């Protein structure tokens, strides 16, 4: 975890008068996959405007690109001055990145060995149309010029797509066109810009669907403040209970700077213990001091819930920041934060880079959640970087969870984090009663499906009779997770990935790959033996929803997974549950993420073993967290909740500890196990992830990098494991290999990684290789 050894970026010391031949040079980060910055000459007419954090127009090869100034210094160039290109223009009236945020981004790039230009893109606002027109008037841009990868153009007008009543011919649509149409039919009209975030070729798909008459499109202006457009009634802060008051006092004391030894905290509170109220008291104090606050949540779906509570307390001084916003909304939020009009930012992972003025408090809610780790592009961990940003800004950091991560608990033991505890629910309701159902011994219920056992069926029945609500949790979407030939036993697999296809009945009866989104009509014959005996095996949320709806025809059954309610759309389903319109909610892990659903008294976990069987040393931790979190949705008010956990291994430690609500016991055991096998948090890990279309090319590149790492001077202190094929050996037509590096201390590992970072550009251009520091997913 980064707090163990926060990297330090040196700032240039004051120097004596510049020597002869010195030029005023700006080091600029540009959006290219290279670690180093580029030096440009600062022309006389721009001297007063070029400063660190300024966005500039510059030449890169034959392209014009936007870059960000990292530093400005008068020095003697190391190359022929005639070869140094001048900056063309300064884009903004003031620097877009304040010093605190700029230095943080530079450190993030260094820590993760990420290209500085790619890191800067994470925090940059859109380019306004007026700025483009100004550059064109100055002659720096021609009307057809593009600014290169990484620049975005803000604007109020967007293209929207909505489904028509026309029905397509069976089997006439495949791939993303079918997926986009299914989503539009499920969710109604959507912005094409939003669709593009999930479907890479959404614009082409919409164009094709429009040509076929299956969708209609329209351009229209959008409100820039859409996420906060609705008025929210102000609330009155409730009286804190004893534990909440103690936690709040400790954080406020640290904010006051009154000699508090700890400036970073782990708020460990059971589900429903009122952690959000503690956050809000701390934010209120930070605002009273004239400082800003940043609140990170793991899922976009949690943002509306938290935003509503924050606006009820703090009014309209709250910004929402997440990837599902339109460019226009995101740009409007950025401008108001940068101007100091808004002082609180709430959002998912990307909100980490919000320009919150005079940052005083950083909160990471559900800090254990793996979605805080970015798994492509710049592979940063938002929780770890939140600690770093707070440290550099002189702010207080609070990590909150009912199931703290192993890494955070280790930091508590080392004295890096102060422990604050909320041992009871804020409503004084007891934690739910958790029971296991041994699937090895228990027969199926009336549905005939063994994964809907008789005890679970009867529990749902009893809950409905009492007029209460149930959540049925199954972390596998689709109708059937396997399509198998009953003749030869061969499963249908994705032609582009080494994974099985999932059958989705609601998507026109298609087979889908959950990794590359490949889709095809359900095969009528086996691809191997040509037998027509194709059977659907297993259970997904779509089939589970249908099975439960058929078993309980008078109940209103809803589903919450990415197929019907991805991202912020999940709020619509959850609002229906809160209004009592839904009796039974079937869902994936989206239902486990901190939602307060007062009417839910029963939670059924259909298959607890699925999460525990993953090829990952964190499988037990993740499985335990899922069980505790989903159990925490039950009985949050007067009626005590009940949880049924179906499993074939009721004695598994993760299941046994979860059934007892014994978080500390599980953490103690897991820490002991990790120490014994030399895994984090006791050892440091990094992965080299290598992939290529040509399998042999990828294998050779992985072998070359492994040999290079073993030959490094620090190799005696760094264990190099591999190369080995990744658990998912082929993804999106690229063969994948891994090399794992492990060390007892961080310094030698970073030295080897630094040497490897210079070796990566020397690989064959058809090979893609990245360094993943502190990896979370081992797949």
* pLDDT at 29 exceeding the cut of 60: yes
Q: Which two tokens stand for residue 484?
A: 């198998």
Q: Which two tokens stand for residue 692?
A: 């290529």
The enclosing H or E element of 508 equals none
DSSP sequence for 443-489? PB-TT--TTSBHHHHHHHHHHHHTT-EEEEE-S--SSBSEEEETTT-
* pLDDT at 8 exceeding the cut of 50: no
**299 pLDDT tier (thresholds 50, 70, 90):** confident
Whole-model pTM? 0.85
Q: What is the DSSP letter of 202?
A: H
CA neighbor of 551 nearest in space, from 645, 468, 452, 644 = 452
Residues 6+ apart with CB under 8 A from 240: 248, 274, 277, 278, 281
* pLDDT at 323 exceeding the cut of 80: no
Reply yes or no: is the peptide bond before residue 723 cis, omega within 30 of 0: yes
Proportion of the chain above pLDDT 90, given as a percent: 55
Chain centroid to Cα 327, Å, comes to 19
Arithmetic mean of pLDDT, 154-181 = 80
Output the average pLDDT for the chain. 87
Cα–Cα distance, 558 to 581 (Å, whole number): 9
* pLDDT at 223 exceeding the cut of 50: no
What does the angle CA 179 – CA 122 – CA 219 come to, to the nearest 5 degrees? 45
Instruction: Give residue 434's pLDDT.
Output: 94
Residues 6+ apart with CB under 8 A from 549: 555, 557
Task: Name which of 212-226, 266-280, 464-478, 556-570 the model is least confident about.
Answer: 212-226
Instruction: Give residue 735's pLDDT.
Output: 97
- CB burial class (10 A; 0-12, 13-18, 19+) of residue 20? exposed
Instruction: Give residue 605's pLDDT.
Output: 95
Q: What is the DSSP letter of 633?
A: T
If phi over 0 gives left and psi between -120 and 50 gives alpha, with beta otherwise, what is residue 137?
alpha
Cα–Cα distance, 437 to 433 (Å, whole number): 13
Q: 195: how many CB neighbours lie within 10 A of its CB? A: 23
* pLDDT at 522 exceeding the cut of 80: yes
Q: In what order do the strands lie in the sheet with 418-422?
A: 318-321, 344-347, 292-296, 359-365, 396-401, 264-269, 418-422
Reply yes or no: is the peptide bond before residue 681 cis, omega within 30 of 0: yes
* pLDDT at 82 exceeding the cut of 90: no
Instruction: Give residue 584's pLDDT.
Output: 95
Residues 6+ apart with CB under 8 A from 428: none
* pLDDT at 306 exceeding the cut of 80: no
Instruction: Give residue 14's pLDDT.
Output: 43
The enclosing H or E element of 418 equals strand 418-422
- CB burial class (10 A; 0-12, 13-18, 19+) of residue 610? middle
The values of phi and psi at residue 58, to 5°, are -145, 165
**708 pLDDT tier (thresholds 50, 70, 90):** very high
Q: What is the pLDDT of residues 625-684, one digit of tens each?
A: 999 999 988 887 778 899 999 999 999 999 999 999 999 999 999 999 999 999 999 999
**147 pLDDT tier (thresholds 50, 70, 90):** low
Residues 6+ apart with CB under 8 A from 770: 379, 688, 689, 760
Instruction: Give residue 149's pLDDT.
Output: 46
Proportion of the chain above pLDDT 70, given as a percent: 90
Instruction: Give residue 650's pLDDT.
Output: 94
Residues 6+ apart with CB under 8 A from 231: none
Asked if residues 728 and 737 have their Cβ atoms less than 8 Å apart, the reply is no
* pLDDT at 198 exceeding the cut of 60: yes
Asked if residues 477 and 563 have their Cβ atoms less than 8 Å apart, the reply is yes
Q: Which residue has the tokens 């798994």?
A: 375
Arithmetic mean of pLDDT, 454-467 = 94
User: At what angle are helices 663-676 and 406-413 packed, to 10 degrees?
Assistant: 90
Cα–Cα distance, 77 to 84 (Å, whole number): 9
Q: What is the pLDDT of residues 354-385, one digit of tens each?
A: 999 999 999 999 999 999 999 989 999 999 99
Instruction: Give residue 303's pLDDT.
Output: 66
Greatest pairwise CA separation for the chain in angstroms: 90
Residue bearing the bigger pLDDT, 258 or 254 = 254
Q: Helix or strand or coil: residue 222?
A: coil
């Amino acid at each position: 975890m980064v707090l163990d050894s926060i990297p330090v970026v040196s700032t240039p010391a004051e120097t004596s008068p510049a020597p002869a031949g010195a030029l005023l040079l700006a080091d600029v980060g540009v959006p290219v996959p290279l670690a180093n910055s580029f030096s440009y000459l600062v022309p006389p007419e721009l001297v007063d405007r070029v400063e660190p954090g300024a966005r500039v127009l510059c030449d890169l090869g034959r392209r014009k690109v936007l870059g960000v100034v990292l530093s400005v210094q008068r020095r003697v160039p190391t190359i022929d001055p005639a070869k140094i290109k001048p900056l063309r223009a300064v884009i903004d009236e003031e620097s877009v990145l304040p010093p605190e945020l700029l230095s943080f981004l530079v450190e993030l790039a260094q820590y993760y060995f990420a290209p500085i230009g790619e890191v800067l893109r994470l925090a940059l606002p859109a380019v306004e149309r007026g700025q483009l027109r100004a550059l064109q008037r100055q002659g720096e841009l021609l009307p057809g010029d593009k600014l290169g990868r990484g620049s975005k153009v803000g604007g109020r007008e967007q293209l929207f797509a909505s489904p028509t009543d026309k029905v397509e011919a069976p089997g006439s649509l495949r791939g993303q066109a079918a997926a986009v149409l299914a989503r539009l039919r499920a969710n109604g009209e959507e912005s094409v810009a939003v669709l593009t975030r999930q479907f890479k070729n959404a614009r082409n798909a919409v164009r094709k669907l429009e040509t076929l008459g299956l969708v209609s499109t329209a351009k229209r202006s959008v409100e820039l403040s859409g996420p906060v457009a609705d008025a929210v009634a102000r609330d009155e802060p409730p009286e804190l209970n004893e534990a909440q008051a103690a936690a709040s006092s400790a954080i406020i004391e640290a904010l006051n700077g009154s000699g508090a030894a700890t400036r970073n905290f782990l708020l460990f509170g059971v589900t429903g213990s009122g952690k959000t109220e503690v956050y809000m008291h701390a934010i209120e104090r930070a605002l009273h001091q004239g400082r800003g606050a940043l609140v990170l949540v793991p899922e976009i779906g949690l943002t509306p819930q938290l935003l509503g509570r924050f606006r009820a307390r703090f009014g309209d001084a709250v910004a929402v920041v997440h990837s599902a916003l339109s460019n226009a909304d995101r740009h409007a939020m950025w401008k108001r934060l940068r101007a100091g009009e808004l002082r609180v930012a709430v959002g998912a992972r990307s909100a980490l880079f919000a320009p919150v003025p005079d940052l005083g408090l950083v909160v990471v809610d559900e800090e254990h959640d793996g979605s805080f780790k970015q798994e492509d592009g710049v592979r940063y961990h938002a929780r770890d970087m939140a600690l770093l940003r707070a440290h550099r800004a002189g702010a207080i950091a609070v990590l909150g969870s009912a199931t703290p991560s192993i890494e955070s608990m280790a930091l508590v033991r080392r004295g890096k984090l102060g422990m604050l505890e909320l041992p009871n629910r804020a409503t004084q309701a007891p934690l739910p009663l958790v029971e296991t159902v041994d699937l090895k011994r228990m027969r199926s219920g009336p549905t005939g499906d063994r994964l809907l056992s008789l005890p679970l069926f009867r529990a749902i029945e009893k809950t409905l009779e009492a007029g209460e609500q149930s959540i049925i949790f199954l972390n596998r979407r689709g109708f059937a997770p396997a399509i198998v030939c009953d003749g030869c036993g061969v499963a249908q697999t994705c032609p582009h990935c080494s994974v099985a296809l999932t059958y989705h009945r609601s998507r026109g009866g298609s087979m889908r790959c959950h990794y590359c989104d490949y889709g095809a009509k359900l095969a009528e014959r086996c691809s191997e033996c040509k037998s027509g005996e194709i059977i659907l095996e297993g259970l997904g949320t779509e089939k589970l929803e249908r099975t439960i709806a058929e078993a309980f025809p008078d109940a209103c059954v809803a589903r919450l997974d990415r197929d019907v309610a991805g991202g912020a759309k999940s709020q619509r389903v959850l609002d229906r549950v809160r209004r009592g319109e839904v009796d039974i909610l079937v869902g994936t892990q989206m239902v486990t993420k901190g939602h307060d659903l007062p009417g839910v008294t029963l939670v059924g976990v259909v298959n607890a073993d699925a999460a525990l069987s993953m090829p990952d040393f964190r499988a037990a931790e993740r499985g335990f967290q899922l069980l505790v979190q989903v159990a925490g949705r039950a009985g949050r008010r007067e009626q005590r909740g009940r949880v049924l956990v179906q499993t074939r291994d009721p004695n598994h430690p993760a299941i046994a500890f979860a059934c007892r609500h014994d978080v500390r016991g599980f953490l103690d055991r897991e820490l002991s196990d990790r120490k014994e096998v030399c895994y984090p948090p006791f050892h440091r890990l990094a992965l080299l992830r290598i992939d290529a279309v040509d399998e042999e090319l990828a294998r050779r590149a992985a072998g070359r990098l492994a040999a290079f790492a073993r030959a490094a001077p620090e190799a005696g202190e760094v264990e190099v494991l591999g190369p080995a094929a990744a658990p998912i050996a082929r993804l999106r037509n690229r063969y994948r290999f891994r090399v794992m590096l492990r060390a007892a201390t961080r310094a030698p590992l970073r030295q080897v990684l630094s040497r490897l970072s210079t070796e990566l550009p020397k690989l064959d251009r058809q090979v893609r290789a990245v360094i993943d520091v502190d990896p979370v997913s081992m797949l």
